Structure 1
Amino acid sequence: MLIVAALLSWFLVGLFIRVSKARGWGQPVRKEGSASHLVKEGTPTAGGVPFVLALALVFFPLYLLGRAGDGLNAQRELLLMLTALGMGVIGGIDDLLKIRSRMTGSGKKELLAREKFPLQFLVALAFAWFAAPLAAHELVPSMGRWADILLLTFVMVGSVNAFNFTDGLDGLLAGVGIIVLLPLMALSPSAALLVAVLLGYLWFNAHPARVFMGDMGSHAIGAIAAGAYVLYADVWLLPIAAIIPVLEVVSVAIQVAVFKRTGRRVFRMTPFHHHFENIDQPWPETHITVRFWMITAVATALVWFLLGGRP
């Protein structure tokens, strides 16, 4: 089924690119951003929509046929997928607003943070409520169920936004997401299927990208990464494996806090990957992507070791 998922994703993403180009659903590029990105103006965006669709189209028949796990694991898998789709819909609304605004030149351009965060919080809270008793490891010892729920809500919202900030270079987030999920593929069908559909997507997103992911895809990846580590591994291992998304979101927080306080910037540009494109001797985009993959691979190998080498 992994091959089916990868091929279906490959087909749907390719079809999406053709339709997007025909309809002019291109991505605008920030003029104040990295100069090397100006050539990407007009590249189709919201490429996460077709691979999330492929993920759902393969998962739910497996679940209904009892092939997504039995008993406890089936509950975990359904919770994972519903959370990913819930977060994906939030990101998808953002993608739709951006495309519609670009096409019409008017209307709401995107979801504001004050609109997006409450929606993310509600989905994360629903996940945390059901996930707390299903978690693979003790979360907050001797603090009670509500402490666990609050922790998991924070982890889910943080993961979704951290993975979203990581999306910004050709192939970067897809590769990071695949590597982060590798230790859990044998345990979680949802994680394994996500790896498969990301491979199909990466065929078109590798540099030079023919499509960009958009928020629906990044939200779904962040949700499954967080959920899979909570339900099958250990929530405290997620920040290690996902060291790049953690650095990305922390870089934004630091930049905003320091700039508001001093008017100065710590980084040339955030999220963190853009800093290296704007230093005095800029790194090529492909170098940043591959090096961030390598860092993620080392961190994920450490997680594998801490898990005792078990899937």
Structure 2
Amino acid sequence: MTVVAALLSWFLMGLFIHYSKRFGWGQRVRVDGPQTHLVKDGTPTAGGVAFVLALLLVFVVVLASGGISGAILGREIMIVLAMLGMGIIGGIDDFLKIRSRKFGGKSELLAREKFPLQLLVALLFAGFAAPLASHELLPGFMHIGGYPIFDMLWIAFVMVGSVNAFNFTDGLDGLLAGVGMIVLLPLVAVSPVAALMVAVLLGFLWFNAHPARVFMGDMGSHAIGAVAAGAYALYSDVWLLPIAAIIPVVAVLSVVIQVASVKLRNKRVFKMSPIQHHFELSGWPETHVTLRFWVITGMATALTWWLMGGRP
């Protein structure tokens, strides 16, 4: 079914691009960013809607056909629901950006609006996931009535952090799609949803490769972050996710460092954050940044696979 998912994603993405151009669903490019990005102004955005839809459709078919073992069915449904919940939050952001470009008005969800929604979805997921996690994060620590409270809180923290870290990794043609696929590779054999996400990202990457014909948008980045956090928590070791996802971790840290430095010292540490734009402004071609970040992610994920003992 992964081949079907990839082809369906590719097909839906083509339709999405066609209608996006027809209705003017383009993205506004930041004028203070790399000047090479100005030619991308008006490129269709929110492509994540198409590949998330493709994943959901194939998942429902697999579910209806009994293609998912009962032993993992509950885990897979939880990951899909977390993906959907986070994806909707990102989708609201995408909708506001598109509407703002055409009609003006509010252009995005503010952090104080987005974060509580993310935390709610993360806590709901973690509440059910903590007792089912592959193993306890800190055995015997902070239990109430036998329930692992610490595990729940930490999984929720990782879920929110993952969603935002993957979101900050977006911004270059093909970057996040490639990073997301590589990070999920160690889990494709045990988590059907992780395998389907890798497949639909392949369909998306066909159109998102440089020069991109469509951008992912927040719905897509939020969905990838949720699947990564959910799959690592339930099938592997959530402590390993920051290793495999080293690029998203560095991306979000670069934003935190930049904001803190500007507020405290009135000076920038990076030419622009997230860090991928710093390298662009330092003279690296966009394709070089993307490919080198893929390579780093590949090495980090290989290390993660080794730490797993060659299996999830």
Same-fold status (TM-score > 0.5) = yes
Q: How does 1:271-290 map to 2 (within 5 A)?
A: 271-279=274-282, 282-290=283-291
Residue in 2 that maps onto 1:160:
163
Equivalent residues of 1:69, 1:77 under 8 A apart: no
Residue in 1 that maps onto 2:153:
150
Q: Could you tell me how far 1:69 is from its partner in structure 2?
A: 2.2
Residue in 2 that maps onto 1:222:
225
1:82 maps onto 2:81 in alignment: yes
Aligned residue for 1:277, secondary structure, equals helix
Distance 2:137 2:264 in 1: 35
Aligned residue for 1:299, secondary structure, equals helix
Once the two structures are superposed, what CA deviation does each residue of 1:166-189 show, in whole Å capped at 9, x if it has no partner? 001000000000000001000000
Unaligned runs of 5+ in 1: none
Paired residue type of 2:294: W
Equivalent residues of 1:83, 1:123 under 8 A apart: yes
Q: How does 1:297-308 map to 2 (within 5 A)?
A: 297-308=298-309
Once the two structures are superposed, what CA deviation does each residue of 1:158-215 show, in whole Å capped at 9, x if it has no partner? 0000000000100000000000000100000000000000000000000000000000
Q: Could you tell me how far 1:310 is from its partner in structure 2?
A: 1.8
Aligned residue for 1:218, secondary structure, equals helix
Q: Which moved more, 1:60-69 or 1:234-243?
A: 60-69
Q: Could you tell me how far 1:66 is from its partner in structure 2?
A: 2.0
Q: Could you tell me how far 1:64 is from its partner in structure 2?
A: 2.6
Any runs of at least 4 consecutive aligned residues in structure 1 with deviations exceeding 6 A, and if so which? none
Once the two structures are superposed, what CA deviation does each residue of 1:197-255 show, in whole Å capped at 9, x if it has no partner? 00000000000000000000000000000000000010010000000000000000011
Residue in 2 that maps onto 1:103:
102
Once the two structures are superposed, what CA deviation does each residue of 1:104-149 show, in whole Å capped at 9, x if it has no partner? 1x22211111000000000000000000011012112222221111
Residue in 2 that maps onto 1:140:
138
1:21 maps onto 2:24 in alignment: no
Paired residue type of 1:109: S
Residue in 1 that maps onto 2:121:
123
1:203 to 189, 202, 206: 206
Equivalent residues of 1:59, 1:68 under 8 A apart: no
Equivalent residues of 1:44, 1:210 under 8 A apart: yes
- How many residue pairs get aligned? The number is 307
Q: Percent identity?
A: 70
Residue in 2 that maps onto 1:113:
111
Paired residue type of 1:110: E
Unaligned runs of 5+ in 2: none
Aligned residue for 2:284, secondary structure, equals coil
Equivalent residues of 1:63, 1:69 under 8 A apart: no
Equivalent residues of 1:29, 1:41 under 8 A apart: yes
